[in-house]
A and B are shown apart, each in its own frame.
Chain A
Amino acid sequence: MEVVAFRMGIFRNTLCTLGLGIIVFIALMGLLAPIIAGDPYKTNMSERLKPPSLKHLFGTDQLGRDVYSRIVWGARTTLLVALTISIISMTVGCLLGAIAGYFGGIVDDVIGRIIDTFLAIPELVFNIALVGIFCVAYGTSIWNVILAVVVTNWVSYARVMRSIVLSLKEREFVICEKALGAGDWYILLRHVIPNALGPIIVLATLNMGNVIMTISSLGFLGLGVQPPTPEWGQMINAGKNYITTAPWLTFFPGLFIALSVLGFNLLGEGLQEVIGRKRLVE
């Protein structure tokens, strides 16, 4: 029943519906890539840098590959990488933040100090440095990117979680759980964290937009997903040399980056409204 009411709320909110529409569209692109798009790796030197046409909807690139196919497969890459990053950083961040907020004391001091330190460092610069280090240490791999972004990304989850938990642990129902004889970990996992999930879901949605931006930026700098795997940021990078002669090489990846970031931000804002209102009604 709660789920139904929640869903109704989402669809009644214009921002949510719009954002969700965009995200579903892009996710479907990624999911159905093998069906709706051709081979993104197939080069064809006789059809290099062709402008958009019926045969090549978004034109072809400097190696004669179909840009449309690469965009569609790129959605898969971007979403998978972004989702992996978000899930890992959410789990790590939420747990650490919840532990810091709930137990307080020295644990909180240590985790809090780490959070502050990370907040002070410019994120992208740190990501770039980390990818560099990981590449030298472990060779190029998609996990370099994922790890490098997770290292900075968990912090926002931890910070938000910590502050929610700080206020939740003073709530009477948590104190009552103690009176029943429940242990700290039980209370934390069964009562505190579930009740903090509302704002965390909002944060995760908004954060997905950021993560996509970061992945694309790393790709653009040549540090992210390595060619020939199709990825939007890296496609812009490859296309920037032809920006005057073949603008579609940069335009379409740019469009889809913007669209997916917009989608997640709209959904995030909308969810914030819905959840905020829900609290009021209760």
Chain B
Amino acid sequence: MLRGVGLRKVFKTGLFGGKRIVAVDGVSIEIEEGETVALVGESGSGKSTLGRILLMLIRPDEGKVFFDGIDLTKLRGKELKRVRIKMQLIPQNPEEALDPRWRIYDSIAEPLRIHKLVDKSEEEDRILELVKAVGLKEEHLTRYPWQLSGGELQRAVIARALALNPRFIVCDEPTSMLDLSTQASIVRLLMKFQKMFGISYLFITHDLELAKVVADRILIMRSGKIVARRVESPS
């Protein structure tokens, strides 16, 4: 369903772009319908960058991304927007992922409003249902992001990513701020959605144990390259 071919991304930093950081270095990756691929690897190895390239949030310097056979690197504006309904991101830093001036409810409702998918009354039902599923309560919805705990924010961001019923989600360390029990509930919720709607996940994590439980395949990344691929027996 999703395929990245020969992806490469070099960041230039320093005053005049003098320093070069090769974040992703010739990666090819393929994710099937309803499959979970775990991406593990040390910090700074380029996992988040790869995830963002697959979602076209960063344009790769080289390589192509195909979604259902369409080359995403060629799309612009409106066409890209239409594809984005189907692919979402659970970002790594939930504290930075929401507009600090927006209430949680509006932030979660935003994707539905942007794509004009549901009307007002439906919107509220849908959001309450999502929010309950991730273990938040109505009382959290009227608050601003800084009035929530780290883990609560992370779950709000997960609810937002699920709101559009996407077919592919890049989960960038979706449980890094959660206690073990809540982590288990959320991972189970993601797996349930996968069964119900056939979602595919790219699951970025540092926890190899967790990766073994959730993933069909595990990719290991080091300095921008995928250095190992493992198939996990279904658990």
Interface residues, chain A, CB within 8 Å of chain B?
2, 171-173, 175-183, 186, 191, 194-195, 282
Given contacts A173-B99, A181-B115, A195-B99, 15 further A-B contacts (CB under 8 A): A171-B96, A173-B100, A175-B91, A176-B98, A177-B99, A177-B110, A179-B88, A180-B114, A181-B80, A181-B81, A181-B82, A181-B84, A181-B85, A181-B111, A186-B114
Closest A residue to B52 by beta carbon equals A175
A166 to B111, CA, bound (A): 24
Residues on B with C-beta less than 8 A from A180 are 84, 88, 110-111, 114, 160, 164
A204 to B153, CA, bound (A): 34
Instruction: Determine chain A's interface SS by DSSP, over half rule.
Output: helix
Chain B interface size band reads: 20 to 34
Residues on A with C-beta less than 8 A from B55 are 179
* Contact partner, B91, options A2, A172, A191, Cβ 8 Å: A172
Check A173 against B85 for contact (C-beta < 8 Å).
no
Decide: A183 near B144, CB < 8 A? Known: A172-B96, A195-B101: no
Check A181 against B89 for contact (C-beta < 8 Å).
no
CB distance from A56 to the nearest CB of B (A): 52
CB distance from A119 to the nearest CB of B (A): 22
A172 to B154, CA, bound (A): 14
Interface residues, chain B, CB within 8 Å of chain A?
52, 55, 57, 77, 80-82, 84-85, 88-89, 91, 93, 96-101, 110-111, 114-115, 144, 146, 157, 160, 164
Residues on B with C-beta less than 8 A from A2 are 144
Residues on A with C-beta less than 8 A from B52 are 175
Decide: A173 near B57, CB < 8 A? Known: A179-B89, A182-B114, A186-B114: no
Residues on A with C-beta less than 8 A from B164 are 180
Q: Give me 11 A-to-B residue pairs in the complex whose CB atoms sit less than 8 angstroms apart, sorted by A's number.
A: A171-B96, A172-B91, A172-B97, A175-B91, A181-B80, A181-B82, A181-B114, A182-B114, A183-B77, A186-B114, A195-B100
Residues on B with C-beta less than 8 A from A183 are 77, 81
Check B84 against A176 for contact (C-beta < 8 Å).
no
Closest B residue to A181 by beta carbon equals B84
* Contact partner, B98, options A173, A182, A194, Cβ 8 Å: A173
Closest A residue to B80 by beta carbon equals A181
Decide: A191 near B99, CB < 8 A? Known: A181-B84, A183-B77: yes
A171 to B95, CA, bound (A): 11
Check B91 against A176 for contact (C-beta < 8 Å).
yes
